[in-house]
Amino acid sequence: MLPLTFALFVIVTGALISLRLSWSRISTRGHRILIGCACAALCIYGFSFVTGWSTISNHLNAALYWFAIAGCEFFLLLFTLLRPRWLTTIIAIILMVPILSASPFLPLTELFNPAPHTIVSIGTNLVSDRAPWSEGSSASSGFDLTIYSYPSWTHLLRHRRQASHYFNRQCNAAQATAALQPDQKHVLMSCPAAPGQPPGSARNLVVKLY
């Protein structure tokens, strides 16, 4: 997934650079449309990130994140139109480099992730979602266990209520589960010990739903 994600990232960045180089030849209306689209992408993703709401489609959520990253690059490239351009260009490059770090870049791979999510109902309009977050050795791979709730009026949207991040080296992350507690306000997040590990390696934690 990483090579394909990086290839698409290079293509998108190249297209945005071409757009920046031809910016002076684009009409004022075109400027407004492009800036409006970039703002909308950032606002939609920002709302989703802050509130915890998202769609039930992981690939659609990943696509929205791609648009947000493209929006960031777009505004950084527009920043290079300011003078002195040699300085604004250096600043824009410095600000773009962190996008390639793990935290911002790895979520982009979800667009090409073929691995199915394991979704289990743990209560009324409440589910656990277990999904692999990387490939490779146990030191660099694992599973995310996320708790979502659905509004009563639609199952097309979901609200993130809690989450745990497990490494395969820590426990048997592929078997991580969640159980709603009797008070309906807490969940038990469990990751059993991996084969060959002592029973004490299991990770069990009761956490409050947001």
Question: Using one digit for the tens of pLDDT, what is the confidence trace for 138-150?
Answer: 567 889 999 999 9
Task: Give the model's pLDDT for residue 136.
Answer: 56
- Domain map (residue ranges) of the chain: 2-112, 118-208
Which pLDDT belongs to residue 189?
Answer: 97
Does residue 172 contact residue 193 with C-beta atoms inside 8 Å? yes
DSSP state of 192: P
Interatomic CA distance for residues 58 and 36, integer angstroms: 25
User: Above pLDDT 90, what percent of the chain?
Assistant: 79
pLDDT per residue over 167-203, tens digit each?
988 899 999 999 999 999 999 999 999 888 888 889 9
Look up residue 38 and give its two tokens.
Answer: 């970039």
Instruction: Report the run of H or E that residue 194 belongs to, with start and end.
Output: none
User: What number is the average pLDDT over the span 74-80?
Assistant: 97
